[in-house]
Amino acid sequence: MTLSRRRLLGGLLGAATAWPVASALPAWLGGAPRARAIGGRAERLIIFYFPDGIAGRSQDGEAGLFDAHASGGGVALGTLLEPLGARASDCTFINGLSMGATDEGSHPGGAKKLLTATDGGFGPSIDQVLAGTVGSAAPFRHLYLGVQANVSGASGDKHISYPSAGISTPPEDDPVRAFARVFGGAVPAPGASAGALERSLLDTASADLEALRARLGSAERVRLDLHAEALREVERRLAGMASSMGGSCSMPSVELPALAASELYAPERFASLLQAQMDVMVTAMACGMTKVGVIQCSHHTSELVMSRIGASEMYDPGYDMRSHQASHYGARHDPGSRLFSSYVAQRRWFVQRYKALLDALAARPEGDGTMLDHSLVLLCSEVSDGNTHAHSEMPFVLGGRGGGALSPGRVIETGGRRHGDLLVSIANAMGDPMGRFGDSGTGVVPGLLTP
């Protein structure tokens, strides 16, 4: 499915009907620009989550396989990070961060702390906070996409985004629904012009507003009139955008899978669903629809049968191996163990998918570089070693240059600092000047941000 100018305009109008007053217009549509803190240069943040941790430090004391260390002016990658390949120079590897001892040994405890940096998830997550600050001017403040993250009715601590203390929200698992929500579902009749579709969308919105106005009291009418004026202002700006946007936001086609209801949670479709969700996210960001997004792959203690995912080193059609099942590989890193070898292959596959996301951003020109140059892309999981469920030596990789806020191709040793400091650093890089985040943060990670 190609993202056309007509579809984008429809999506913008759909978003506009949710804006309460004209002051909510985004700066890129001509509204008042937001003040940015000194040093804040990243245009967007994408958080890429995978479940059930990594092969970290084993119970027998073996070093973790998610390691990265400086070597010869570059970065040497451990077994699990090798799939990043040439993209290592676009990444910053943050070693040694801890989420604290509370609930250590627990998947749910880790999921609650991961983006909130609070014990028990008793605070909003960093993605939701940034959506309300640096992302507030975008038509969609926050885009939360899942890949089989709601399977079997999963809820609560299975999800990692918290709009408020202790209350998580579910992601959208269906990429077709996600695309329709962001970009609208209007399709022109055969032979209809773009202008005709744009007018029909505006006429429909105006008619709905007038019908609603007739049923309201005087105070509500005043508020609705302000809303209508915001919509008219959007129309004027959309008319000016149309000639400069090009036919497809300079984007290639977004391929959305044709899904039967029974396929949305089929493990064999996981890879294609993830690719579609990454395409939706990147396209939404490229077209300025959002600045803050989360892609959640499954959920902690995942029953995803990863051995059914084809074209991968973990593919084994004769043996069902689940993510959480493989994570309990034992007390040592035993290459001869089926559990351990499957777990390693699974973790490498998630890193490969993260690299594909970085590649997609790097393929799109933006400003003086690419979208990746102006982005931050966080790779994370809710525990470190999958077998012990440890909350120390957490696996974090930060892709992109953040518009100059980071100098990638480096390893940052943190010495056990709390991971809330990483979240503060990300916020500062995006222009939110917060000084600390979570229960035990102290500030930015030393050496992470460019002075």
pLDDT value of position 246: 33
Q: Token pair for residue 297? A: 């792959």
In the chain, residues under CATH classification 3.40.720 are 39-174+259-430
CA 103-107-108 angle, to 5 degrees, is: 75
What pLDDT was estimated at residue 207? 60
CA dihedral 297→302→303→304, nearest 10 degrees, is 20
Who contacts 269 (Cβ-Cβ below 8 Å, separation ≥6)? 257, 259, 263
Written as tens digits, the pLDDT of the chain (451 aa) is 444 544 455 545 544 443 333 233 332 223 332 333 334 489 999 999 999 999 999 999 999 999 999 998 899 999 999 999 999 999 999 999 999 999 999 999 999 999 999 988 899 999 999 999 999 999 899 999 999 999 999 999 999 999 999 999 999 999 988 988 887 753 333 333 334 434 444 455 566 667 777 878 887 777 666 655 654 554 454 444 333 333 335 444 577 777 787 899 999 999 999 999 999 999 999 888 899 999 999 999 999 999 999 999 999 999 999 999 999 999 999 999 999 999 999 999 999 999 999 999 999 988 889 999 999 999 999 999 999 999 999 999 999 999 999 999 999 999 999 999 999 999 999 999 999 999 988 999 999 999 8
Q: What CA–CA distance (Å, rounded) separates 193 from 62?
A: 65
What sign results for the dihedral spanned by CA atoms 66, 70, 76, 82?
Answer: positive
User: Distance (Å, rounded) from C-alpha 127 to C-alpha 141?
Assistant: 10
From CA 300, how far away is CA 57, in angstroms rounded? 19
Partners of 93 in beta bridges: 397, 411
Query: Residue 143 and residue 127: Cα distance in Å, rounded?
Result: 9
Whether pTM exceeds 0.75: yes
Distance separating the N- and C-terminal Cα atoms of the chain: 43
The CATH architecture assigned to 39-174+259-430 reads 3-Layer(aba) Sandwich (3.40)
pLDDT value for 330: 97
Strand order of the β-sheet with 44-49 is 143-147, 292-297, 44-49, 375-380, 396-399, 91-95, 410-413
pLDDT for 377: 99
